[in-house]
Amino acid sequence: MEIKIIKTTGDMVLDKALKELGGKGLFTKELDVSLLNGDVDVCVHSMKDVPTWLVPGTILPCNLPREDTRDAWISPNAARPSELPDGSVIGTASLRRQAQLLAKNPTLKCVNFRGNVQTRLKKLNEGIVDATLLALAGLNRMDMTKHLTNVLEWDEMLPAVAQGAIGIQCREGDERIMRYLDALNHPETKVCVDCERAFLAALDGNCRTPIAGQAKLVDGKVFFTGLIAKPDGSLKYETSRTGAPEDAVQLGTDAGEELKAKIGSDSAAFFGDFEVAPEPKSSITGKKSDGLGGYDSAGYTIEESEGKIGGSLIID
């Protein structure tokens, strides 16, 4: 088995907000091309980055056992978001996180905060922001939980659709590869991820839209919670569903259609063209920054081993 590392647009362009780069497929396009060209046999994805619309000729039949889906709170100033002083600055490129934070405290300011985990922690320690949030799954996988201040439960910060899940994509009709993937698939994770992605698909959501959704299996039943919000947190709609695992996709679809009806036919008007504010000036160079721009690049080198979860395999 050969592992082939493929860098994507989302991995390489770090001086812009994800919203500016176009939203869908930023972490998957290059992998899709390699898969369809036969250069690789499977692609391994962080499911949070995978569009709900798959490239024709490909399928995603396998999810590995899921990590903890919650968000991690990291701050030297407050044990949790509710304890931050009014006017505090939070580093996050996520409109989902921003909307939920501002819904609880509209005086907070969220600024663009991209880069890998090490880069974000370095900037936090320099006092560029008062706090940041990261997916707990990433910290767990990188053995970096010593940096977290607290773990936020769903009622405080509902995670992104498919957060903490790894998926494996292959070519449609590739029976040999599908046999391998069938043995690797974790049914419980796949049921929950399929439910969440159906919710997102019904809303046609992407990184431009503050949408959150989580499903879990308890005593043989699927429990789903989802929300949409205006980016400034001024309006938020929530919904929930409970049902049998075999109905997971329909549960997610129904929940998404319910919230879509609440915002009306013009979703663009509801979500608006809101952007996370640019990051403040660098404490290293003193230059104003619009993301990672203005930083001493030598001080923020991203090593090959520090990238996102993802890649592809050639199976002999």
The catalytic residue among 11, 32, 41, 49 is 49
Would residue 71 show up in a list of annotated catalytic residues for this protein? no
Long-range contacts of 272-277 (CB under 8 A, 24+ apart): 272/230, 272/231, 274/95, 274/230, 274/231, 274/232, 275/17, 275/19, 275/20, 276/17, 276/19, 276/92, 276/93, 276/94, 276/95, 276/98, 276/110, 276/111, 276/112, 277/109, 277/110, 277/111, 277/112
Among 30, 27, 50, smallest CA distance to 40 is for: 30
CB-count exposure of residue 193 (10 Å: 0-12, 13-18, 19+): buried
SS3 readout for 134-160: EEHHHHHHCCCHHHCCEEECCCCCCCC
What is the C-alpha separation between 175 and 162, in angstroms, rounded?
26
Backbone phi, psi, residue 43, to 5°: -120, 135
Active-site residue numbers?
A: 49
